[in-house]
């Protein structure tokens, strides 16, 4: 990765822009944390009978149990992915603080502001992200 000085980043973003990106990242983090809490409560805090709505003394059908287990695993996967996003947001907040926000970690080139508006925690230019994804598929 090419080194980019803090002056180059500061010149690229005015203080107001960096504050707006920081606010956007913090709002996104709050939303994701809230979603993770809701999913966790729905998934982990309920018993099999609570989920199925069956409060009778009869056992649950195997297909119902399998469906409930699938949904639980799916929801836990969502929470895991959201945790990764939280980590990426935290890294982006650190980049704002250290003056490297908006600079591609692979090429050292500026990340397009339109990309940062769509994905404020982006750490690669679109071209570099596509290259990384292609390498991951091989």
| Phi, psi of 103, rounded to the nearest 5 degrees | -115, 130
Digit-coded pLDDT (tens) for 52-99? 555 554 556 667 667 767 777 776 677 778 889 999 999 999 999 999
With 90 as the cut, is the pLDDT of residue 38 above it? no
Q: What is the mean pLDDT of residues 21-36?
A: 94
Closest listed residue to residue 21, CA positions, set 77, 94, 127: 94
Strand, coil or helix: 3: coil
Domain spans of the chain, in order of start? 6-102
pLDDT at 77: 72
């Amino acid at each position: 990765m090419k080194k980019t000085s803090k002056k180059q980043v500061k010149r690229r973003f005015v203080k107001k822009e960096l504050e707006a990106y920081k606010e956007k990242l913090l709002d996104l983090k709050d939303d994701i944390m809230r979603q993770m809490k809701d999913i966790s409560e729905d998934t982990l805090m309920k018993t099999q009978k609570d989920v199925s709505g069956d409060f009778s003394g009869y056992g649950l059908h195997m297909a119902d149990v399998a469906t409930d287990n699938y949904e639980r695993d799916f929801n836990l996967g969502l929470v895991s992915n959201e945790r990764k996003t939280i980590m990426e947001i935290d890294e982006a907040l650190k980049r704002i603080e250290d003056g490297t926000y908006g600079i591609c970690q692979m090429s050292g080139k500026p990340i397009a502001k339109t990309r940062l508006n769509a994905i404020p925690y982006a750490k690669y230019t679109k071209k570099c992200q596509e290259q990384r994804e292609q390498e991951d598929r091989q």
